[in-house]
Structure 1
């Protein structure tokens, strides 16, 4: 896994935890599912085995009963006893063998022998029952060679119900047993169907499709556990789930005892399957919940021992641009590597603050020196302006005008410094205030009585002192040249905004003025202003320029 794909520490550690926990969860789920399948297979196998055991017991008992019938019949046929003597011997046998209720033997030579413990059961009843059983299909051999053609079932004679064992020899020797019938009390199957210990949730019954339940154990006389429809029982037995007569869903296993309709059926509730499902859920969820709790504890520990310290350092770092003094938190329970980072950060902050204080002190000193320097320059300019003003009193004509022109330019410098230092700090100069002051000074120093200098300034733009000074020189130079060469002229200084970043400066006269090439210094002044000429000097227009400003 490429942890670099994740941007944060939390995401990378979570991805690492997930990469470790996911295979564990998958292996756990696979192991639990395999165990659950093994358990359910074992439950199904045990259910099949239980039904097989009861079927084998039943078959063994029936074969024993068949063997008893054949043994008695062989003994009677060999003894050549009369019917009366044979009946007495059969009666004695029935008394000795508990559970045998009646017996009928019919020899190949026509002799018959009948005995019954119930006086209500006569020899004719037994003969009819033997004929009815003889008409049924013989029971297939269970394994190996069968002792005789046998048939098993259940019949009712009188007011009683009996298990019946019928044996026949289709081609007997003269004097030998042709067929025999044995009636047995169903109670003898109680031992056969003994469920033993640990039989909760299991019921077993010997069932005949024709006559119903022959014998059952596990639920007393209650047969509501049997399948709702006996016709749905598989012909060859097997395991299936179906609805019982009481409406519950149960698992059933059927095993044939005597085909086609004499079989053992075992019913099982879902207690073991339910216990297996609960065990599956516990085994599956316990590791997953453990992994979830581990992840929660892991996140909590990550938050407590790592991320909150990182956030404190980040918060301290982010407060510094706002000018606040902040230090990263350093605590005793901090991890040593985090504490080392926090202490290094605090040391860096302390050193930075020391440097900032030193820089601020140096900056304040520089500002003070610059401010003092500009004040000295402004004062010196005022002294120069005053000296020129005093000196021009001693001159007339052209010399006086030249000194007035020089005084005007010195005033431009002095006014620029006065405006830029108005609040004690260097700041941009408003164009309108500065040019109004310059126009007033031109009017006072250079204009004669028949001339005029006016202004129409409509802007609030500002320029730095480095650009406002050349602008004042340009206006003073153009106005001075026109005023000195043209008597009675009137000059107008126009300033207005072109757009949010540009102003246009124009000088116009009230009459056409012959164009005169400006001195070379004029081009240098325009480049300092970064001005672009928008109209040539022609006629009444003395010049028009566009200037980008700071705001």
Structure 2
């Protein structure tokens, strides 16, 4: 991961935390899902094995009954006894075996041996049952020691349910057929669930889903746990279905003897619920831990890193309004951030020292500049006074030349006077400066029959570097006209064109023949950054537009 993509310290630390926590969360989720699937598979396997266990118990019982029937029938056939003598001997044997109710044996020669300990089981009814069972499919035994195919069933005969075990001997020369009728209660121990069944219910079901034997705790007679469906998916021994009581339950079925005697087991959903809770605990607890870790980590970043960095940033930004602001240095600050804060404060202290030194030097420089300008202004006034005194000793052209020079010196003196009016260098108002220049032209250059006026309509200001050449330009044009045209009246017009442009124009009261300006005139126009908007023509002596900052 390229942490440089994140601009802030907080973002980079958070990205690093996510880069660490995300794989851990994925591995935790994978482990939780794997564990859940393993536990569910173990539960399903346990349920299937439970059904297998009860099926094996039932098969063992039936095979035991089949072996007892085959052994007793073979013994009777070997002795060759039949009729009443045989029945009396077999009846005595039945009395010694609880649960065995009737036996019917048919020898190879057709003679029968019948015995019953239940008066409801007569020889005729048992013979009819034997004929009925003989027409039904056999159940072969699936063991390495083969037993003859037999028929296991439950029937209602003599007003009660009976377990039937019937065998037909196809290859035996002495015994043809044998049948045993037993009490269903003999399977009671086979279906004993034990003290902790954990919601397990088991039943032995025959053709038509008749329940031969079942167990359920705590209510043994309740059959509402059996599935609603009439057919069980015996090939896939486990499934989920709705019970007769309307609840979803897990079932497992195993065929005991073909084709229609099988064990059905039902299981509660407590193990699945426990597995789901375990899955949620394994999944959510680590993720919540990671989230809590992220929150604590972010809190720690904000409190022990970002908080102090923002304090230094706030101090730096407050320097513009609070010159003496310093970064806070607290005892609980991290040492590296404290070092940064101390270096920042040291830098501010050194900066303030440099600023004080610079300010002192600047004040001294301003004082020197102000003094220099005052000296220049005073010197100009001295020069102007000296020219004025000298002018008294001359007449005609010499006097006019000295007056012209005195006017130009006054332009310089007036410019410095206005720009230093408040003790500091500042822009000069054009209207005040032009008014002063017009007054000086009136006093120094014009004759008695001439007149100089001004029409000022502006609040613009210009720097001293531009106001001086503007004064020179006005004096130059006015001086050339006044010296060449007796009795002329001049008007100096200054007005605003727009917010950033003003226009300076000179007009006479009569048409004046234009004269070529001196070579320095173009330099004055360039220094003012002026653009001539009208050439001298007729009464108009010229106009210039000057851009300024309001």
Alignment TM class, shorter chain as reference: over 0.9
CA distance in 2 between counterparts of 1:222 and 1:490 reads: 135
Are 1:238 and 1:253, in contact at CA under 8 Å, matched by a contact in 2?
yes
Is structure 2 residue 192 aligned with structure 1 residue 194? yes
CA distance in 1 between counterparts of 2:141 and 2:22 reads: 58
Q: How does 1:333-352 map to 2 (within 5 A)?
A: 333-352=332-351
Match of 2:207 among 180, 204, 209: 209
Q: How does 1:493-504 map to 2 (within 5 A)?
A: 493-504=492-503
Aligned to 1:523: 522
Q: How does 1:133-172 map to 2 (within 5 A)?
A: 133-144=133-144, 146-170=146-170, 172=172
If the length of structure 1 is used for normalisation, what is the TM-score? 0.95
CA distance in 1 between counterparts of 2:365 and 2:248 reads: 98
Q: How does 1:66-85 map to 2 (within 5 A)?
A: 66-85=66-85
Is structure 2 residue 290 aligned with structure 1 residue 291? yes
CA distance in 2 between counterparts of 1:107 and 1:197 reads: 47
CA distance in 1 between counterparts of 2:115 and 2:432 reads: 150
Are 2:531 and 2:546, in contact at CA under 8 Å, matched by a contact in 1?
yes
Aligned length: 548
TM superposition shift of 1:421: 1.7
CA distance in 1 between counterparts of 2:458 and 2:303 reads: 62
Deviations 1:308-356 (A, max 9, x none): 1111111111122335321111111111111111111110100100111
Is structure 2 residue 27 aligned with structure 1 residue 27? yes
Q: How does 1:129-528 map to 2 (within 5 A)?
A: 129-144=129-144, 146-170=146-170, 172-173=172-173, 176-210=174-208, 212-219=210-217, 220-231=220-231, 233-528=232-527
CA distance in 1 between counterparts of 2:209 and 2:215 reads: 17
If the length of structure 2 is used for normalisation, what is the TM-score? 0.95
Is structure 2 residue 43 aligned with structure 1 residue 43? yes
CA distance in 2 between counterparts of 1:35 and 1:178 reads: 58
* Change in CA separation of 1:144 and 1:505 when aligned onto 2, cut-off 3 Å: same
Are 1:186 and 1:215, in contact at CA under 8 Å, matched by a contact in 2?
yes
TM superposition shift of 1:145: 5.1
TM superposition shift of 1:474: 0.8
Q: How does 1:537-548 map to 2 (within 5 A)?
A: 537-548=536-547
- Report SS of the residue matched to 1:230: coil
Are 1:104 and 1:126, in contact at CA under 8 Å, matched by a contact in 2?
yes
Gaps of 5+ in 1: none
CA distance in 1 between counterparts of 2:401 and 2:82 reads: 183
Which piece of structure 1 moves more, 474-483 or 416-425?
Answer: 416-425
Are 2:234 and 2:254, in contact at CA under 8 Å, matched by a contact in 1?
no
TM superposition shift of 1:63: 0.6
- Report SS of the residue matched to 2:91: helix
Which piece of structure 1 moves more, 88-97 or 500-509?
Answer: 500-509
Are 1:438 and 1:472, in contact at CA under 8 Å, matched by a contact in 2?
yes
Which piece of structure 1 moves more, 193-202 or 57-66?
Answer: 193-202
Runs of 4 or more off by more than 6 Å in structure 1?
none
CA distance in 1 between counterparts of 2:527 and 2:250 reads: 106
CA distance in 2 between counterparts of 1:113 and 1:247 reads: 50
CA distance in 2 between counterparts of 1:138 and 1:257 reads: 13
CA distance in 2 between counterparts of 1:237 and 1:424 reads: 109
TM superposition shift of 1:198: 4.1
Is structure 2 residue 120 aligned with structure 1 residue 120? yes
CA distance in 2 between counterparts of 1:316 and 1:205 reads: 83
CA distance in 2 between counterparts of 1:403 and 1:311 reads: 71
Q: How does 1:101-112 map to 2 (within 5 A)?
A: 101-112=101-112
Are 1:154 and 1:211, in contact at CA under 8 Å, matched by a contact in 2?
no
Gaps of 5+ in 2: none
Deviations 1:20-56 (A, max 9, x none): 1222222222222222211111111111111111111
TM superposition shift of 1:129: 1.2
Which piece of structure 1 moves more, 209-218 or 278-287?
Answer: 209-218
CA distance in 2 between counterparts of 1:8 and 1:353 reads: 30
CA distance in 2 between counterparts of 1:212 and 1:88 reads: 34
TM superposition shift of 1:483: 0.8
- Report SS of the residue matched to 1:93: helix
CA distance in 1 between counterparts of 2:158 and 2:454 reads: 146
Are 1:319 and 1:325, in contact at CA under 8 Å, matched by a contact in 2?
no
Which piece of structure 1 moves more, 443-452 or 203-212?
Answer: 443-452
* Change in CA separation of 1:249 and 1:211 when aligned onto 2, cut-off 3 Å: closer
Are 2:141 and 2:148, in contact at CA under 8 Å, matched by a contact in 1?
no
- Report SS of the residue matched to 2:492: strand
TM superposition shift of 1:480: 1.2
TM superposition shift of 1:497: 3.0
Deviations 1:58-90 (A, max 9, x none): 111001001111112122222233411211112
* Change in CA separation of 1:65 and 1:386 when aligned onto 2, cut-off 3 Å: same
Deviations 1:502-541 (A, max 9, x none): 3222212222222222222323322221223233323322
CA distance in 1 between counterparts of 2:188 and 2:421 reads: 125
CA distance in 2 between counterparts of 1:38 and 1:537 reads: 108
Which piece of structure 1 moves more, 407-416 or 8-17?
Answer: 407-416
What is the CA RMSD across the aligned residues, in angstroms? Answer: 1.9
